[in-house]
Amino acid sequence: MTVKFGSVLFVVLAVVICGEQVCAAMDSHEVSLEFARANEAFRQANDLASSAGADDEAKKLYVRAAMHYERIVAAGGIRNAKLYYNLGNAYLLKGDLGKAVVNYRRAEKLDSGDADIQKNLAFARSRRIDKVQTRTQKKVMRTLFFWHYDFSLRVRFFAGCIAFGGLFVFLTLLVWFGRSGVRSGLRAGAAISFMIAICFLVSVGIESVYEAKQPCGVIVAESVVARQGDGTNYLPSFKEPLHGGTEFELIEQRMGWLEIQLSDGSQGWVPDGSAELL
């Protein structure tokens, strides 16, 4: 099923459940029924959205679809890119930009190479109220180390393993062929395999450590005042409130409050109920 939203958003309703581990709270049959209910609510919402004067009913059905998908995550223990992608679609079409971005980001973490996820995430980001610039240093890093940002963690890990396998093959052939004329080509192959393996596996290690030390999140409240400290008695950090869909890095977490840093380096404190961590 393909749904056109404006001229940019294309929704592909598909969920892969094979091979996922299901918690005891919901067996595979119940998960399948929940998927069917979610997909049916989503289909009905799409049909109503194309009818004049039925926006409110369509939004209610998008909410219902999202609730079914959320239950699959919470009670079914299933987490995959397509499921989070569907959640993002339901929230976006409902008009909940914060929830849409956070679920597209979760989908992206699991499958950053999926074109539909990237397209819909970019569309959701384009609709945000807060236009926060990215620091120049980060833009340069994304260009120089594109493989770290453009490929998922799983793809980088397997690519690094394959490159290491290639390295051992080249080294074995070097031993076998001794002083023959192909040694220079084998050395070059071994060197290239080694560099590729190091690039990908170091990237995997850096991301694993970075995510553990500095999680990311998204503002999910419609609007929230970021403050200079962890309490409502502190002055606002910015002239305007932050709005749903604004992304951040978590600096510190205290009782009921999150200290966050935006992509331009500015910082503030927001109530923990106004945001979700990835």
Tell me the sheet residues that pair with 268.
Answer: 260
From CA 229, how far away is CA 224, in angstroms rounded? 14
Predicted confidence at residue 12, as pLDDT, reads: 41
Type of residue found at 231: G
From CA 123, how far away is CA 132, in angstroms rounded? 16
Of all residues in the chain, the percent with pLDDT exceeding 70 is 81
Q: Which two tokens stand for residue 114?
A: 């999926």
Q: Which two tokens stand for residue 14?
A: 């598909």
Distance of CA 42 to the CA centre of its chain: 21
Measured over all CA atoms, what is the biggest interatomic distance in the chain, rounded to whole angstroms?
80
Q: Where is pLDDT greater, at 28 or 87?
A: 87
pLDDT tens-digit map of 247-272: 999 999 999 999 999 988 899 999 99
Is the confidence at residue 23, as pLDDT, over 50? no
From CA 106, how far away is CA 85, in angstroms rounded? 8
Predicted confidence at residue 109, as pLDDT, reads: 86
Predicted confidence at residue 140, as pLDDT, reads: 65
pLDDT tens-digit map of 61-115: 999 999 999 999 988 888 899 999 999 999 999 999 999 999 999 998 888 778 8
Predicted confidence at residue 210, as pLDDT, reads: 66
Q: Which two tokens stand for residue 34?
A: 């929940």
pTM: 0.71
